[in-house]
Structure 1
């Protein structure tokens, strides 16, 4: 498929040698990060006309490239299809090309239902996906149409999809139906409230560590002075917190696809564009750091006795990250935090460690 038919190539910007824009190319490369901007907001009740992402690019291109080694590609702006389904189909074709080149696609803009395309595109290439979503809303509504309220139910309900773990972070109780939250808990997927994510990433870092796919609903980020998202909220992750979490996303050992959705592309507020640009930058920094880590790891083994039963924890001697379990294959151990280990020493074991 010829991408030139439905992707508008980005314009050129004058940048300094030290700025990240100086190393950005426009064609998919192997083992690269591929940025693609999406204008279709019909899944959130918006429009589908091609929007101008120039202001965001200007803010992003002028940031420092530090010592980044990974190739960065700005593929351009996706032209919306005649229908929402057409846009999803086109996006999945682009995603497939990225995965074939072991590139990490980062989809920016569009409504939150495009997370469905990211999952579908990745599911074509691998099974047992670990999916983490940052969103203030948990919606499992049933409908033929795909939108921001139905996409998650379609992922869970599809016989063709293979999901290993799902982690929903940042939900706010006062915005959600109790039944949706209850259902997620009944199938033993993890739900973390906004309050548990604030001030520190330590507690929720384990939910990113093995993630294959991470999507961010910008509605989970607090708006300031002007709406940051299409469904702006007074409460949410603040500017520093979301940048810290973007870095954690990049640090995932298995990361293959990222989406940043429901951004208010109609805003003229420079600070909003600046924040989105810096979110992308911190994501890239995390990916670069992870690529520099050694593949072979050593682990310290610790045993904790609770009610006459022995439980094992492991600590990565390079990263100091913790795992629950004593399996020789670290992939079979559960990522956890130092606090989980400390709590176990006090006699309290996190319930998610004992799920069958």
Structure 2
């Protein structure tokens, strides 16, 4: 595949030495971050594949501070949509595989939410037993057997014979927008489903669902809208501006992050602040990745024992990060990420159901 045939290079944007734009290049570098902007929205009702203008987003992103970032960033440009929506999925997957072969983290920006299927599919070819965290206000499990859309892509991931989904976390759903049966089904198969109310004001309680995620995607419908709409399906309720930036940082802080996507953004918005917000969300994601890369690979833990009935239950705290885990294992990868709040609840005799499955 010739990359030049499927991408429109980003136009040069002048940046000061201290700005992020000074760190961004047009060449993919191993172990770096890769930005891919997409304009194919045919996965939503009445969606099109017309080329979107991301210049304002780029200008706002490039002028932000690069702080002490060391992870190289590549802006590959705008993906040229295929003749059909399925063609776009295929092209995107090939591009993502190229990133994975270089151990680079692709961040796909724009396009309809079903493009998350391509991120999962490409990553599944690269490694198995994936942990996928999605922030979305809706849980759609339609299984119509048709072409990939934002209504059926999640069902295709969960039921795909060739897919190895170890954990799935669905964050930010809103009760009044969802079928009760869909929520019940997700819980019955032991997937974590977290309401919007549990994510508001602080990331502390839901941070554990990001900590080991291989893939994180955001449906912008889960963000409250400004002006003419932050998303293509604007919502009056959702995560606010500060909250979504904080969760983008948590995404970057994942110990296992291999790929990320931000979908259903309203690229046609005439509201400047919507473009500025998206730019700052991307910046916080990049910041999180840089912080995680600076953490020591060898981890030390403090162990805490809790008595529940007649059983001794172990929790452990990472000495460097202060983050909490459930389990008695000496291998960090076998511990279950948790919050301080869950440890405190265990001391009161309340053990979260996901710990009882171990």
- The verdict on a shared fold, with TM-score over 0.5 as the criterion, is yes
Q: CA deviation at 1:226?
A: 2.3
TM-score, normalised by the number of residues in structure 2: 0.99
Is structure 2 residue 54 aligned with structure 1 residue 80?
Answer: no
Structure 1 segment 87-236 matched on structure 2, within 5 A: 87-143=88-144, 144-236=146-238
Give the superposition deviation at 1:163: 0.4
Would you identify which runs of 4 or more consecutive aligned residues in structure 1 move more than 3 Å?
Answer: none
Deviation larger for 177-186 or 211-220? 177-186
Query: Residue deviations 1:11-35, cap 9 Å, x none?
Result: 0011111110111111111000000
In the alignment, what sits opposite 1:28?
28
Measure how far apart 1:43 and its partner are: 0.3
Determine if the alignment matches structure 1 residue 323 to structure 2 residue 325.
Answer: yes
Which of 286, 291, 294 matches 2:293?
291
Counterpart contact for 2:225–2:235, Cα < 8 Å: yes
Structure 1 residue 308, shift from structure 2 partner: 1.0
User: Aligned partners of 1:43, 1:72: CA distance in 2, in Å?
Assistant: 28
Aligned to 1:68: 69
| Mapped partners of 1:63, 1:343: distance in 2 | 40
User: Aligned with 2:96: secondary structure?
Assistant: helix
Structure 1: state its 5+ residue gaps: none
Return the alpha-carbon distance in structure 2 between the equivalents of residues 295 and 58 of structure 1. 35
Structure 1 position 266 matched with structure 2 position 268: yes
Give 1:225 shift. Answer: 2.1
| TM-score normalised by L of structure 1 | 0.99
The worse-fitting range, judged by mean Cα deviation, of 287-296 and 47-56 is 47-56
Cα distance in 1, alignment partners of residues 32 and 319 from structure 2: 28
Secondary structure class of the residue paired with 1:291: helix
- Residue in 2 aligned with 1:255? 257
Q: What RMSD over aligned residues (CA atoms) do the two structures have, in Å? A: 0.6
Between the aligned partners of 1:142 and 1:210, the Cα distance in structure 2 is 28
Query: Residues 245-282 of structure 1, C-alpha deviation per residue, up to 9 Å, x if partnerless?
Result: 00000000000000000000110211000000000000
Q: Structure 2 regions of 5+ residues with no counterpart?
A: none
* Cα drift, residue 51 of structure 1: 1.2
2:173–2:193 Cα contact (<8 Å) kept: yes
2:226 touches 2:271 (CA, 8 Å); kept in 1? Answer: no
